[in-house]
Chains A and B, each alone.
Chain A
Amino acid sequence: MTQENLLMIPEISVVILLLPLLGFLFNIFFGKRIGRLSSTIATGIMGICLALASYIAFTKFVYYPDNGMIQLKFDWFTLGPGNAVSVGIGVDNMTAMMLVVVTLISFLVHLFSTEYMRDDKRYSRFFAYLGIFTFSMLGIVIANNFLFMYIFWELVGLSSYLLIGFWYEKDSAANASKKAFITNRVGDLGFFAGIMILFFTYRTFFFDDIFAKILGDSLHGIAPILPFNSGFWLTVAGILIFCGAIGKSAQFPLHIWLPDAMEGPTPVSALIHAATMVAAGVYLTARVFPMFTAHALLFVAYTGAITAFLAATIAITQNDFKKVLAYSTVSQLGYMVMGIGVGAFTNGFFHLVTHAWFKACLFLASGSVIHAMHHAMHHLNDHHTDPQDIRNMGGLRKTMPLTYLTFLFATIAISGVPFTSGFLSKDGILAGTLAFAQLTGNWLIPIAGFGAAGMTAFYMFRLTIEAFHGVPKTKIATQTKENKFVIVFPLVLLAVMSFWFFYSANPIDASKGWFASRMKAPATSVPTAYQFRFLVPEERLKQEEEAQEKLEKANVDENTEKLKKRIHEELEIAYATGQENRDSVEKYKQEFLKNKEEAKARARHPLMAKKSMKDGSGEKEEFLTVFEEKIEEAHLPAMFISVLIAGLGILLSFTVYQFKAMNSDNLANQFGLLYRLSYNKWYIDEIYDASVIWFTLNFSKVLGLFDLKVIDGIVNLTAWVARLAGQATGIFDNVVVDGLVNLIANVTGTLGSIMRKFQTGRVQTYIGLTIVVVILLVYFLA
C-alpha cells in the first residue's frame, strides 16, 4: 500500500471498533451505580460510531471506490526469526457498507431498548452486553485475516450466548443460549479446520495473501500451490470454512439454534439474530468467495437453497410471532448464501444489506407489539396468556397504527413486491440462480428459490393479517396502545430505508445503481481447472493461454530447474514440519511430481468445467461477461415469475386469513402429514436428540462408568493384590519364618530345661556323673 493520504480510514475504523468495547467496560463496572445513565452513554457511543462509519463509507465510496482493501498489518507475536503470527484490519467497499449497517442498526436497537427494557432489573447489564456484541461484530467486519475473523467470530458467539440467556432465570432461556453456543461450536470446528489447512499450506492468515498464493503460479503455467497441492483439498478447505457460516448463519443442518434463540429480549433478536450476527456467515462466505472452487460453490448454493426452502415451509404453520420471523430469517439467510453460491455475489451481499433493514424493522415492530401486549396484560392483571402468540392478537391495526404501517411495509419488502429494496435484491438473486441453472443445469436451485419466495409472501401476510387485521381475538388485544416515540422512531426509519431509491434510481433493476457498481464480485483466485469457466475473468484466461504457449516453447532445462526449485521448497516445508524421515520425503516427492504432472495435464486442456456447461455459444466466449449477460437475460423472466409468485402467495394469504374463503383448519387437515411435518419443524430437533446427542451423552456415561469401574478398578485391584500379597507374606512371616525362629528357641529352651535337671548343685551327683563319664571314656577309648 502506497503512503497516500487515505483520509485516516484505517485509523478511524479502529476507533469505531474500540468505542463499543469502552462502553462495555464502563457499563459492566459502573453501570449499576449510574443506573439509567448507562443507556444514554451506550447509545451516545453508538451514535458516534454511526457518524464515523458514515464518514468512512462516504470517503470510501466517493474517493476510493476502486482501491481494494485499505489495510493495516502488524505482528501479534513471533515464534522466532521470520516466523510471526500477523494480523490486521482492512476496509474495502464491503466493509464500509457493513460498518454502516452494523452501527446504524445497533444505534436504533440501543434507542429502542431504552424504552423496551425500562423495567428490567439488569438494565445496565443489557447495554453492556449490547456493547460487547457490537464490538465483536465490528471486529468480524474489519478483520482482514482469518485469525481475527475467527477470534471475533467466537466473541459474537459469546455475546449471543449472554444475550439469549439474558433472562437466565427461565430454564428455556438458559437452554437456548447453551444450544446456540454449542451448535455454533460445531460449525466453528469446521471453520478452524479450514483455517488450519490454509495456514499449513500458505503460512499466513491474510485473505489477500492467501488468495494471491492460490492464484500463484497458475498464471505462469506451473502447478499452483494448493492445500496439500490439490484442487480437491482447496474444495475441502472452502467447504470447511463455509461450515463456520453454516453455524453462524443458521444454515441447514445447523439452523436449529436460531428459532430457540428467540428466548432473548426482542431488541436482541432484531440486532443479533436477524440483522447482523447471523449475517456474519454470509459476510464470511462473501469474503472468501475468491477461493471457492466450482464444487465448493455448488455446495454453498445447494446449502442455501435447501435452507431457504425448508425454513419457509416451517414458517407457514408457526403461531409464535417471533418464531415465524425467526424461520423467515433462516430462509432469507439461505437466500443470501444461495446467491453467493451461484456466483451472484453482488446480489447476495445486496440482499444481506436490504434484509438487515426490513428484518430489523419487522423484529422491532414485533417487539413493539409484544411490549404493548405486556402492558395490556399488566393492566388487566393477566399473567398467563402468551403475549407472543398470534392467536391472542388481531385488530392491532387500529390500536397501533404506526407499528402496523411500518410492519406492513417491511412485509411488502420481504415479499419482494416492486418498488421495495427487497424486490431489487431478491430479484437479483433469482436472476442469478436462473443464469446459473442455464449454464450448469442445476435447475433445483432456482426452483427452491422461487418456491421459497412464494411461501415467504404467504406466511408474512398470514402473520400481518392474523396479528393486525380483523377483530381483536382477546381482551388484551383491545387494550393495546401505540408505544412511545423512541420505540416507533426506529421502526419508521427502518421502514423508510426499505424503499428502492436508496440503492438505485431504477425501481426494478439495481444492476446500474451505485451499490452494484461498488460491490462488484472479486475475481476468483482458483486455478481455472477447478473453477466454473464463466467465473474466470477473460484477461486471466488469455494470460494463462499465453503462458501455456510460452511454457511449451521454453526449453526443457528451464522447466527442470523450476521443478527442482519447487521440490526443494517443498522439502524445506517438510523439514520444517518435522517430516524429515527419508521415506516420507521420498513419498512426498513422488506425490508432488505426480500432482504436478496431473496439474500440468489439466492446464494443457483447461477447464473441466467447460464440459459440463450446456452452452453452445462457442468456447472463447465463456467468460465472466457471459455470466453477467445471462443474468441480464434472466432478469426479466426472473422478475416476472417472482412478482407472479409473490402475488399468488399474497392472494392466497388474503383468501385464507382475511376473507376466510377457505378454512385454515380444514386446509391443515387436508394436508395432514405435511402440516405436521411443518408444524414440528420436520422433527429435526427430535432427530438430533435421538441420534447425536443421545449417543454422546450415553457414550460419555458409559465412559464415565468405565473409568470408575474398569480403569480405576484395575488400579484398585493392583492395590488389593499388593495388599493380599502383603498379608500372605505377613502370615508366612508370622507362621513360617517366625515359627522357625520360635522353634529353634523352643528346642533350645527344652534342651536347656532338660540340662538344668543335671545342674543339681550337689557334689555327690557331680562325682557320680564324673565317674560314669570316666568309665565310658575308658571303655570307648581303650
Chain B
Amino acid sequence: MQNFLGLGPLTWITFLPLLGMIIIFLIPSGKDEKGKETSKQLFRWVTIGFTFLQLIIAIGIYLNYTAGMTGINVEGGFQFREHYNWFTVTGLPMFGNVKVDYFVGIDGISAPMILLTAIVCFVASFASFSIKKQIKGYFAMYLLLDLGMMGVFISLDFFLFYVFWELMLLPMYFLIGIWGGPRKEYAAIKFFIYTLVGSVFMLLVIIGLYFGVHSFNMLDMMDPLKYDPTSIFAPGHGWWRNVAFFALFVGFAIKVPSVPFHTWLPDAHVEAPTPISVILAGVLLKMGTYGMLRINWPMFPDSVKYFQCFIAWVGTVSILYGALCALGQFKVGKRDFKKLIAYSSVSHMGYVVLGMSSMNSSGMSGAIFQMFNHGTITSMLFIIVGVIYDRAHTRGLDDFGGLANKMPIYTGIMAIAFFAAIGLPGMSGFVSEMMIFLGAFMAYPILTVISGLGIILGAAYMLWALQKVFFGKLPDRWSGPWDPTHKIYKTDDINAVELAALIPLAILIIGLGIYPAPMFNMMNATVNHLVEFVRIGGGF
C-alpha cells in the first residue's frame, strides 16, 4: 500500500479522526433561537464520513496484508512499519538520554484488531444518531476516542503505547460522564479510576523495563540479549520478572475485565449511551487481552509458563462467574437488559483468557478470533438494546413481551445476534469458541470441560431474555399510539439508520461463521511464531 503525503496507512488510519475532530471544532454549532443545534446533522455525517474513510483504509490494509509474516519480536515481520524518532531528551538524571520513537506496525495479532476497531467505530457512528444533546462535543470526543484506540493497536514503542492508552481514557470518561444515564458520574469515575490503577501498574513495569534495555522499543524488551544483566527484570531474575508479569497481567485483566476486577463494566455499560457501550464492549475490552498478547506473553515468556495454570483458572472462573451473574439478573436487581449483556461479556472474554492460557496454536488463534467475534456480536447486541431503548425509554426485561409480532424485522436481527452469542454453528462465535475449547483441552482438559458449562448457562440466560422480550403477549402500554405525556413511542419496527448499523455486523458474523479462513490466514504465522517463542521461553 502506497504512502500518501509521506505518511503510511497506519498513521493515516490512526490520525484521520484528529482531522475530523478539527473540522468538527471549526463548524459552528449554530444554535437557533430555541437553543437547538442546527448543524447536528452535519456533525453526524462528518463523523460517519471519517469513520468510513477509516474503514476504507482498514479494508485496504486487509487487502494488502501479506499472510505468512511473523512479527511479535521480529521487526522485519511487521507490516506497514513506520519507525521515526519522536523526541530525544538528553542528560536526564538517572535516565540518561531518553529516546522515544514513533514506531508503528501490525502483525497477525493487531491486524484483526485494526479491522475490528474500524468496523465498530463506523457502525457505532450510526448508533450515535440517538445522541440528542451537545452534539458537537460528543462527536469531537468520539473521534478522539477512535484515535486513541487505533493508536494502542499499532504502537510498537511502549512509551507511545502508554500515551495512546491514557489518551483513550479521557474521552471515554467524558462520554460516559456527560452523555450517560442517571448514575453517569459514578460510572464514569469508577471506570476512570479503575483503569488508572491498571495504568499505574503498567507504568511501573515500563520504567523497570526501560532500565533493563534503555529503550522503549517493545521488540528490544523481548530480546534477552539487550538487557543489562544487573537490571531487575533481566533474564535470570525470575522472581522479579514474575512480579512484573503479574502487575502487568492485573493491569490488563482490569481492562478485559476478568473476575474479580470486573465490577466497573456493568456500571459503565448500564450508564453509557448506546454507541459508547458498543465501543466499550466492541473494542475497549479487547485492549486488555491484546495487551497481554502483545506485552505479557512475549516479554515474559518464562513467567507465562509459570502462571499458565493460574491464567487458565482466571479464564474459567470468569466464564462461569459471568454467566451465573447474567443468569442471576433474573432474580436480582432491576433486570436491566444492558447489565445482562455486560455480564455475558465478562463470560465471553473469559473464553479469550482461557484460550490464551493454552499456549498452542488452536487455543491462541481461537482466542484472537474470539476477540474479533465478541467485538462484532456484542456490538450488535448493544445496538439492538439501544433500538428498543430509544423507542420505549426503558431497558427493563420485565417491561416487554411479545415484541416479535410488533417488530418482526427487529426480532429477526435480534435472533441472529442472540444465537451468535450462544455460539450457534454457522455464526462466527462458534468457530472461535470451538478452537478455544479444542486448544484449551490439550492443556487443561478438566478445566475446559468445566468451562463448557458456560455454554449451557449462556443458552439459558440468552433464551430467557429472548423469551421475556419477544415472546408471549405484548403489554398494553406498548400497543397504543404515541403518547406525548408519558413519552412512550409506539414500538414501530427498526429504521434504516439502525439497519445500516446492524446489517454489516450480521453479514460479518454469518460470513465468518461459514468461512473463517480469511481471519485465520491473517494471524496464523504470527500466532505460530508466538506459540513457538513462548514454548522455547524466548531465551529468558
Chain A residues at the B interface, C-beta cutoff of 8 Å: 28, 76-80, 83, 147, 150-152, 154-155, 158, 161, 165, 168-169, 171, 174-175, 178, 181-182, 185-186, 189, 192-193, 196-197, 199-200, 575-581, 696-705, 707-708, 711-712, 715, 719
CB atoms of A79 and B324 under 8 A apart: no
A80 touches B460 (CB 8 A): no
* Interface residues contributed by chain B, number (CB under 8 Å): 70
* Docked-complex contact A704 and B437, CB < 8 angstroms: no
State the 8 A-B residue pairs at the shortest beta-carbon distance, nearest first.
A704-B328, A701-B331, A700-B328, A151-B425, A704-B332, A578-B359, A77-B517, A168-B471
Q: Smallest CB-CB separation from B440: which chain A residue?
A: A196
A169/B472 in contact, CB under 8 A:
yes
Given A701-B332, A708-B332, check contact A189 B467 (CB 8 Å): no
Q: Which residues of B contact A28 (CB under 8 A)?
A: 412
The answer, among A165, A575, A708, for a CB contact under 8 Å with B333, is A708
B50 contacts chain A at the CB level, 8 A cutoff: no
Cβ < 8 Å to A, chain B residues 246-272? 259-260, 262-264
Given the known inter-chain contacts A154-B424, A181-B463, please indicate yes or no for A200 contacting B445, CB distance below 8 A: yes
Q: Is the CB of A575 within 8 A of B535?
A: yes
Residue from the list B194, B308, B460, B472 in contact with A171, Cβ < 8 A: B472
How far in angstroms is the closest Cβ of chain B from A102?
19
A-contact bits for B479-493, CB 8 A (1 contact / 0 none): 000000000000000
B360's partner among A155, A192, A577, A705 (CB-CB below 8 A) is: A577
9 A-B pairs in the complex with CB atoms less than 8 angstroms apart: A79-B361, A79-B528, A80-B525, A83-B361, A154-B425, A185-B455, A200-B438, A700-B330, A707-B328
A residues near B535, Cβ cutoff 8 Å:
575, 578, 580
Instruction: Map CB proximity to A onto B182-205 as digits: 1 under 8 Å, 0 otherwise.
Output: 000000001001100000000000
Query: B306-319: contact bitstring with A at CB < 8 Å (1 yes, 0 no)?
Result: 00100000000000
Instruction: Tell me the minimal C-beta distance from A621 to chain B in angstroms.
Output: 41
Docked-complex contact A185 and B520, CB < 8 angstroms:
no
The chain B residues found within 8 Å of chain A, CB to CB, are 190, 193-194, 259-260, 262-264, 305, 308, 321, 324-325, 327-333, 358-362, 365, 402, 404-405, 412, 419, 424-426, 430, 434-435, 437-438, 441-443, 445, 448-449, 452-453, 455-457, 459-460, 463-464, 467, 470-473, 515-517, 520-521, 524-525, 527-528, 531, 535
A147 to B127 Cα, complex, angstroms: 37
Point out the residues of chain A lying under 8 angstroms from B525, CB to CB: 80
Which B residues are CB-close (under 8 A) to A178? 463-464, 467
Residues from chain B with Cβ under 8 Å of A577 in the complex: 360, 442-443
Q: Is the CB of B329 within 8 A of A169?
A: no
- Of all chain B residues, which has the CB nearest A193? B449
Complex CA gap A712/B464 in Å reads 25
Contact B517 A76 (CB under 8 A): yes
Residues of B within 8 A of A196 (CB): 437-438, 441, 445, 448-449
Nearest CB of B to A165, in Å:
7
Q: Assess the B190–A200 pair: CB atoms within 8 A.
A: no
Across the interface, name the chain A residue whose C-beta is closest to B359. A578
A77-B521, A168-B467 are known; give 7 further A-B pairs, CB within 8 A: A150-B425, A169-B472, A182-B463, A192-B452, A578-B360, A701-B332, A703-B321
Measured CB to CB, the nearest residue on chain A to B523 is: A79
Name the residue on A nearest B458 (C-beta).
Answer: A185
**Contact in complex: B520, A181 (CB < 8 Å):** no
Determine the residue in chain A with the shortest Cβ distance to B520. A77
A712 to B193, CA, bound (A): 14
- Please give the distance in Å from B221's CB to the nearest CB on chain A: 23
Report the bound CA distance from A277 to B324 in whole Å.
31
- The distance from the CB of A14 to the nearest CB of chain B, in whole angstroms, is 15
Instruction: Kindly state the separation between the CA atoms of A621 and B501 in the bound complex, as whole angstroms.
Output: 71
B434 to chain A: which residues have CB within 8 Å?
147
CB distance from B61 to the nearest CB of A (A): 21
Residue of A174, A182, A193, A699 ringed by the most chain B CB atoms within 10 A: A174
A158 touches B419 (CB 8 A): yes
| A80, A171, A182, most chain B CB atoms within 10 A | A80
Contacts A78-B517, A174-B472; is A696 near B327 (CB within 8 Å)?
yes
Q: Decide: A169 and B360 in contact? CB cutoff 8 A.
A: no
Report the separation of the CA atoms of residues A196 and B438 in the bound assembly, to the nearest whole angstrom. Answer: 6
Bound Cα distance A711, B258 (Å): 12
Q: Let me know if A705 and B471 touch, CB within 8 A.
A: no
The smallest beta-carbon distance between B351 and chain A, in angstroms, is 14
Task: Give the contacting residue for B358; candidates A76, A174, A578, A580; CB below 8 A.
Answer: A578
Judge whether A703 and B328 touch: CB under 8 Å: yes
A78 touching B521 by the CB < 8 A rule? Answer: yes
Chain B residue contacts of A171, Cβ below 8 A:
471-472
Cα distance, A80 to B433, chains bound together (Å): 19
Q: Tell me whether A155 and B325 are in contact (CB under 8 A).
A: no
Is B305 in contact with A701, judged by CB distance below 8 angstroms? no
Residues of chain A contacted by B449 (CB below 8 angstroms): 189, 193, 196
Residues of B within 8 A of A200 (CB): 438, 441-442, 445
Q: Which of A165, A199, A707, A719 lies in contact with B193, CB distance below 8 A?
A: A719
Q: Is the CB of A155 within 8 A of B443?
A: no
- Known contacts: A83-B361, A703-B321. The answer to whether A182 contacts B460 by CB under 8 A is yes
Give the distance to chain A from B523, nearest Cβ to Cβ, in Å. Answer: 9
Tell me which residues across on chain A come within 8 A of B445, comparing CB atoms: 196-197, 200
Q: Taking the nearest CB of chain B, how far is it from the CB of A30, in angstroms?
A: 14
B193 / chain A contacts, CB cutoff of 8 Å: 719
Contact A78 to B524, CB < 8 A, known contacts A178-B464, A578-B360: yes
| A80: chain B residues within 8 A (beta carbon) | 361, 524-525, 527-528
B466 to chain A, nearest CB (A): 8
**Which of A175, A192, A575, A580 makes the CB contact (< 8 A) with B437?**
A192
CA distance A192 to B451 in the complex (A): 12
Closest CB-CB distance, B259 to chain A, in whole Å? 8
Query: Is there contact, CB below 8 Å, between B325 and A704?
Result: yes
B329: A residues at CB distance < 8 A: 704
Report the Cα distance A80→B523, complex, angstroms.
9
- Report Cα–Cα, A707/B326, bound state, in Å: 11
By the criterion CB–CB under 8 Å, are B365 and A79 in contact? yes
Contact A169 B471 (CB under 8 A): yes
Which residue on B lies nearest to A693, using beta carbons? B460
Cβ 8 A contact of A151, one of B325, B358, B426, B517: B426
By a CB distance below 8 angstroms, the chain B residues around A719 are 190, 193
Contact B324 A169 (CB under 8 A): no
User: Are A704 and B459 closer than 8 Å at their CB atoms?
Assistant: no
Q: Which residues of B contact A181 (CB under 8 A)?
A: 459, 463
Nearest-CB distance from A142 to chain B (Å)? 16
Minimum CB–CB distance from B460 to chain A (whole Å) comes to 5
A87 to B455, CA, bound (A): 23
Residue of A nearest to B452 (CB): A189
Structural contact, A169 and B331, CB atoms closer than 8 A: no
Nearest CB of chain A from residue B369's CB, rounded to whole Å: 10
Q: Which of chain A's residues has its CB closest to B468's CB?
A: A174
| Chain A residues within 8 Å of B331, by CB | 697-698, 700-701, 704
Q: Which of A78, A155, A192, A711 contacts B426 (CB 8 A)?
A: A155
Return A755 CB to nearest CB of chain B, in Å: 46
**Which B residues are in CB contact (< 8 Å) with A581?**
305
Q: Determine whether the beta carbon of B424 is less than 8 Å from that of A155.
A: yes
Asked if A189 contacts B453 (CB within 8 A), the reply is: yes
Distance A175 CA – B535 CA, assembled complex (angstroms): 49
Chain A residues with Cβ below 8 Å from B456 are: 182, 185-186, 189
Contact B190–A715 (Cβ < 8 Å) = yes
Q: Is B328 within 8 A of A701, CB to CB?
A: yes
Query: Is A703 within 8 A of B325, CB to CB?
Result: yes
User: A707's closest neighbor in chain B, by CB?
Assistant: B325
Of chain B, the residue at the smallest CB distance from A189 is B452
With contacts A189-B453, A696-B327 taken as known, whether A77 is within 8 angstroms of B442 at the C-beta atoms is no
**Cα A171 to Cα B515 with chains together (Å):** 37
Please measure, in the bound complex, the distance between the C-alpha atom of A703 and the C-alpha atom of B263, giving whole angstroms.
Answer: 13
* Chain B residues whose C-beta falls within 8 Å of the C-beta of A197 in the assembled complex: 441, 445
> Which A residue sits closest to B456, measured CB to CB?
A185
- Note all chain A residues with C-beta closer than 8 A to B419: 158
Cα of A197 to Cα of B446 in the assembled complex, Å: 11
